[in-house]
Amino acid sequence: MAFAITAQWVNRLAEAHQVGGLSDESTRLGRILLIIVDAVGYIPFEPEVANLFFQYISDRYEWASVIVSSNKPFGRWGEVFGDDIVAAAMIDRLVHHAEAISLKGDSYRMRGRNLGRVPTADTGE
């Protein structure tokens, strides 16, 4: 199993591509039976990187497990990938043999922080 935020995965692929080692990196990553891609949509992809990431997911989705987390609904993934067609193709592969779970409610990280309230002014009196 390997866990990384999306930016780390795409940087790994982009760096391997730049030095001509994408095939070797894909082979190494192919040995990992489960990858977890966290925070898809937090930072938009550059088009070339979006294509590398799409190709990686496309190459492995039939035979190895992928868990993806995102705070964006699928309908907004075109913004993330910079292209509605690439986003649709990515979603198609991710949900083909998948269970999609939508979580609603407050963030686990933000619980108990009272960030929804406007603070009152302290007059010091």
pLDDT exceeds cutoff 90 at 122: no
Is residue 102 in some structural domain?
no
Is residue 78 in some structural domain?
yes
Domain of 78: which CATH number? Answer: 3.40.50.300
Domains contained in the chain, number: 1
Give the per-residue pLDDT at 65: 93
Whole-model pTM over 0.85? no
Is residue 115 in some structural domain?
no
- 109 compared with 52, residue with greater pLDDT: 52
> Tens of pLDDT along 24-44?
999 999 999 999 999 999 888
Is residue 65 in some structural domain?
yes
Closest CA to 4 of 32, 44, 23: 32
Tell me the residue range of the domain where 10 lies: 2-14+28-96
> Tens of pLDDT along 51-104?
999 999 999 988 899 999 998 999 999 999 999 999 999 999 999 989 999 888
Is residue 114 in some structural domain?
no
Residue 29 CB contacts under 8 Å (≥ 6 apart), including other chains: 2, 12, 35, 56, 60
Q: Name residue 5's beta-bridge partners.
A: 38
